[in-house]
Structure formats: structure tokens, C-alpha cells
């Protein structure tokens, strides 16, 4: 169970408990009355397919060195963010308050409503479309999902989606490696992993 005080705190501050705060300048206010009613799952790795470095934080904080890797030149100057990143070991880094509008979805549509950034929370898994995610990531994502579902009850299991589902043909993440049925099982059978961390 998630305590009432935890839910109240999340609704007031937008900060996930146990997350390292690494503020990104890439966010804005949500439009008046937009509400928070969708959770979007993404993946990212920088350089692609490599894990563990500081480059994702650098990218979301507009300080990625474009000369450090050929791929980085292709994304130089792109200003994006997500609310949080779950690393391979399950550690969570938060970039934007859940109350604010992070820049993760781009051109997108869910259930007929466009501009998903307005009303969604975006969570990145450190990973790639075809590389299995870690159990720590499934558990931590489920932990975060339970918290946001408690704080914003409009987010039911049917309103947890992948970036590829809201931007088909343009985005492929979290990819075939993301096991949705396993994630849904984690969501309904909490292990208590990090729940009060
Ligand atoms: Zn994405």
C-alpha cells in the first residue's frame, strides 16, 4: 500500500521518492486544466546500445558534447527531457516535476487527443528496443506507476502506453524487448521493491 502522505506529497511536489534530482531546463507548464491522465514508457541509451554513462543526463540538461561520439552530432541542439529515467540497476533520476510538462512525446496522439506532453508523464528506461530490460527496471517502473496511479487516478492500467503507440511510424520505443505482460504482472503483484525508498 502507498501511504496517504506519500500520495499527497507526490501531488503537491511532483517529486518521486528515492529519485536523484537532476533538473532539466527543457520543460514548461502544463496547459490550464490539462490534467495528468497518461503514463508513457520510453527507452533511451547514449550512445545507442551503450549503458551506464552520464550522457543521458547530459543530453536532457543540454550539455551533451557533440564531439564526443559521432551519434551525438546528429542530436546536437535537440532540447528534450522526460520526467524520469530508470537506469539498468533500477536507480531513478528525475529531471522534471511530474506537475510540469516535460518534452518527451513530441508529435503524438492518444485516444484521439493530441499533444500527449500536455497530459502525460514520460518515463525513460535506459535501454534499446531489442535488448531485454532488467528486472530491477520492471520493478521500479511498476513502483512508479503505482504511485502515479494513486496520485492521479485517471491513469488506469489502460492509460499506460508506449511511445511507439502514441507516435506510430515515427517512434519505436520501448520496442519489442519491453514485455508488457510481465510489466502488468509486476504492477498487480508488488514486491515492495523500493516502495518506501
Ligand atoms: Zn520515446
Dihedral-angle region of residue 18 (phi above 0 means left; psi in -120 to 50 means alpha; beta otherwise): left
Domains with residue ranges and CATH for the chain: 4-188 (3.40.80.10)
91 Cα–ligand 1 center, Å: 19
Tens-digit pLDDT profile for residues 3-15 = 999 999 999 999 9
Give CA–CA dist 15/12, Å, rounded: 8
pLDDT at residue 195 in the model: 47
Q: Would you give the end-to-end CA distance of the chain in angstroms?
A: 14
Tens-digit pLDDT profile for residues 39-50 = 999 999 999 999
Q: Could you tell me the three cell numbers for 79?
A: 532540447
Q: Could you tell me the three cell numbers for 68?
A: 564526443
Residue with cell 506529497: 9
Tell me what the mean pLDDT of segment 113-132 comes to.
98
Asked if pLDDT for residue 122 goes beyond 90, the answer is: yes
pLDDT at residue 192 in the model: 54
4 Cα–ligand 1 center, Å: 31
Tens-digit pLDDT profile for residues 65-104 = 999 999 999 999 999 999 999 999 999 999 999 999 999 9
- Among residues of the chain, what percentage have pLDDT more than 90? 94
Asked if pLDDT for residue 33 goes beyond 60, the answer is: yes
105 Cα–ligand 1 center, Å: 6
124 Cα–ligand 1 center, Å: 7
- Among residues of the chain, what percentage have pLDDT more than 70? 96
pLDDT at residue 196 in the model: 44
Higher pLDDT, 2 or 56: 56
122 Cα–ligand 1 center, Å: 8
Higher pLDDT, 36 or 195: 36
Inter-CA distances, 25 with 22, 82, 95, 149, 197, Å: 10, 11, 9, 26, 26
Cα–Cα nearest to 197, from 20, 13, 12: 20
Tens-digit pLDDT profile for residues 147-160 = 999 999 999 999 99
Catalytic residues: 124
Tell me what the mean pLDDT of segment 95-116 comes to.
98
Asked if pLDDT for residue 193 goes beyond 70, the answer is: no
Higher pLDDT, 192 or 114: 114
19 Cα–ligand 1 center, Å: 20
Asked if pLDDT for residue 54 goes beyond 70, the answer is: yes
pLDDT at residue 189 in the model: 83
171 Cα–ligand 1 center, Å: 7
Q: pTM of the prediction?
A: 0.95
Bridge partners, residue 38, by sequence: 120
Q: Could you tell me the three cell numbers for 141?
A: 517502473
Amino acid at each position: 500500500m502507498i501511504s496517504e502522505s506519500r500520495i499527497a506529497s507526490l501531488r503537491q511536489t511532483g517529486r518521486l521518492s528515492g529519485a536523484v534530482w537532476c533538473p532539466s531546463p527543457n520543460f514548461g507548464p502544463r496547459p490550464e486544466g490539462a490534467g495528468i491522465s497518461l503514463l508513457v514508457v520510453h527507452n533511451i541509451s547514449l550512445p545507442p546500445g551503450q549503458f551506464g554513462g552520464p550522457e543521458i543526463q547530459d543530453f536532457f540538461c543540454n550539455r551533451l558534447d557533440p564531439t564526443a561520439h559521432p551519434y551525438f552530432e546528429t542530436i546536437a541542439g535537440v532540447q528534450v527531457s522526460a520526467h524520469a529515467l530508470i537506469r539498468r540497476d533500477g536507480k531513478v533520476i528525475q529531471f522534471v516535476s511530474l506537475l510540469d510538462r516535460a518534452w518527451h512525446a513530441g508529435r503524438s496522439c492518444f485516444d484521439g487527443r493530441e499533444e500527449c506532453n500536455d497530459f502525460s508523464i514520460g518515463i525513460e528506461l535506459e535501454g534499446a528496443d531489442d535488448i531485454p530490460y532488467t528486472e530491477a527496471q520492471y520493478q521500479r517502473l511498476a513502483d512508479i506507476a503505482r504511485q502515479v496511479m494513486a496520485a492521479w487516478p485517471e491513469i488506469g492500467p489502460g492509460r499506460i502506453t508506449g511511445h511507439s503507440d502514441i507516435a506510430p511510424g515515427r517512434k519505436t520505443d520501448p520496442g519489442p524487448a519491453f514485455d508488457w505482460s510481465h510489466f502488468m504482472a509486476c504492477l498487480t503483484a508488488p514486491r515492495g521493491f523500493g516502495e518506501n525508498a
